Structure 1
């Protein structure tokens, strides 16, 4: 496999990830880990990879729906294989969109479809997924008791409801105003961005409402499967965290990974989880152990993608030049 070129932004992201992850590991009470091992409770974590696999299965179905709406036909098995392989690279590649870029490259090589069409399918799927996160977080906010709401800042409480409202509004505005956007020709970067938005909105307008509804339902199922892993692992660790707190905290954790300061969100995700659970009254050591277990569960599940990538010589990934732009 070709090496990714060295860049200072990539190095800084790696350092941020390592520092944050080291801090989380330092917070872990290893006596608690030993006690869990002796009690046999660590073996109860086995449903974690299965739940993430179920989530990937649903996510692949969601992606396949978006591709089919644009005339790109692939089997569900092929979509799942590509999604799984891209998930593995997304764990380790710099930038939170690394896995999506890999998925686009693999899909283009497997289907020969127009790269712009594939890129739209992934972008629309991700946008729908972000709205699903925001919607679940909004439900969590509505269910939070006043005592817990006071433990979080107003900006955190209002983040997911604001996103749940803004995402549809912005999409609607872009759909209605795409003819105006098409007339923007200066400066060059505005023209380029406007043209990209117009193409995406034109493609979105061709997606049947029924298909997009199924994509949203699949997105909600996928996000709930992730939340269920957090709740399950928290229960095994003896954390008394109600469901509505998980529905509020987990979307914020994943939204934090959008910040372009680490490798694949590593460290940011774990640090955000520790901090948010601490505000909800969870001991930092237990929250840190939960964050570490969630990360290891993600790595174990994603590693299946490495096996799949190595067994198909025709589609073994060689990083394309597009990766050079991930950190710029």
Structure 2
């Protein structure tokens, strides 16, 4: 038995070491890609001037910076409300304050620990500890994410539809419209597949991790059967993205960009948000800035200002997620003690 236990521990240690090595290599690769994208962007620009990255500060600059940060924090609260509405629709009973703790801890992980899905995994794990329902907790996080993929393309297409000039910009218009269209197409295919009854019967008979996929299938079914709850999810999703558009507008003002109105923000910023989550760069660095240069250049925005705006948006996201540090360190332990005391354990 000792030999078997020793072999098991050795195998587990080996798997952990391999996983750690793979994760480190992934981080190094993504950092390298981000650096490469920045060098490519600078090389591609005809007359890049690093001095223009720093805006001319004036009396209004602190106002716009503080406004952008406050709106980013408000956006985090709205995103938690979106997740809460999904959880309620799926029958999960959990307090909004607790979900905010889990959401911010997950956001901190996503921003400070270079991983694509680590924050979502943490949210799923902590919500499962709260509710005892792993499949529905899994579904709540994924459906909360998917609701954003409905709203972002709609904003882009609506912004383009409202302004004839934006529809005639050439490459920026084509890229934004294509990004929105492909996102809606991918979302539709996912919902058709996972929401299919035959698919549901197939995964319902499986064990292990597949039962979580079945939880997503059941979650889609439950949202279909509850149009009022689904409506609340979409309302909070639109509110969240509207707040983030306002934060982007403040960030633009902070770096000296004055020509972006609500329609321009609506048409192009959601497309930037979609592009930046492609899992090839660290925190979207390089992707976001390149997309902003593409979309804003023909609107009269200096390329260096577009890059500065992208970097500021990244740092605002990082700063806003600092709230998640104490919830990451202490939140899980606190809520576990509360759960044990309520259940007499």
Shorter-chain TM range is 0.7 to 0.9
Note closer, same or farther for the CA distance 1:76–1:181 as it changes in structure 2 (3 Å cut): closer
**1:33 maps to which of 54, 61, 64:** 54
Residue 217 of structure 2: aligned partner: 201
CA distance, structure 2, for counterparts of residue 209 and residue 96 of structure 1: 31
Which structure would you say has the larger Rg? 2
Task: Find out whether 1:132 has 2:151 as its counterpart.
Answer: yes
CA distance, structure 2, for counterparts of residue 227 and residue 46 of structure 1: 15
Deviations 1:3-33 (A, max 9, x none): 9812233321122124445777996744663
Task: Find out whether 1:69 has 2:89 as its counterpart.
Answer: yes
Q: Which runs of 5+ in 1 are unaligned?
A: 317-328
Task: Find out whether 1:118 has 2:118 as its counterpart.
Answer: no
CA distance, structure 1, for counterparts of residue 104 and residue 279 of structure 2: 23
**1:221 maps to which of 239, 246, 253:** 239
Task: State the 1:267 CA deviation.
Answer: 3.0
TM (norm. structure 2) is: 0.77
Note closer, same or farther for the CA distance 1:23–1:76 as it changes in structure 2 (3 Å cut): farther
Whose helix proportion is higher, 1 or 2?
2
Task: State the 1:59 CA deviation.
Answer: 1.2
Q: Which has the higher contact order (CA 8 A, sep 6+)?
A: 1
Asked if the contact 1:151–1:280 (Cα under 8 Å) also holds between the matched residues in 2, the reply is no
SS at match of 1:206: helix
Task: State the 1:215 CA deviation.
Answer: 0.5
CA distance, structure 1, for counterparts of residue 268 and residue 166 of structure 2: 15
Note closer, same or farther for the CA distance 1:103–1:24 as it changes in structure 2 (3 Å cut): farther
Q: Which runs of 5+ in 2 are unaligned?
A: 1-15, 336-345
Task: State the 1:268 CA deviation.
Answer: 1.9
Note closer, same or farther for the CA distance 1:280–1:292 as it changes in structure 2 (3 Å cut): same
SS at match of 1:154: helix
SS at match of 1:234: helix
Residue 5 of structure 2: aligned partner: none
**2:98 maps to which of 78, 81, 89:** 78
Q: Give the RMSD, CA atoms, in angstroms.
A: 3.3
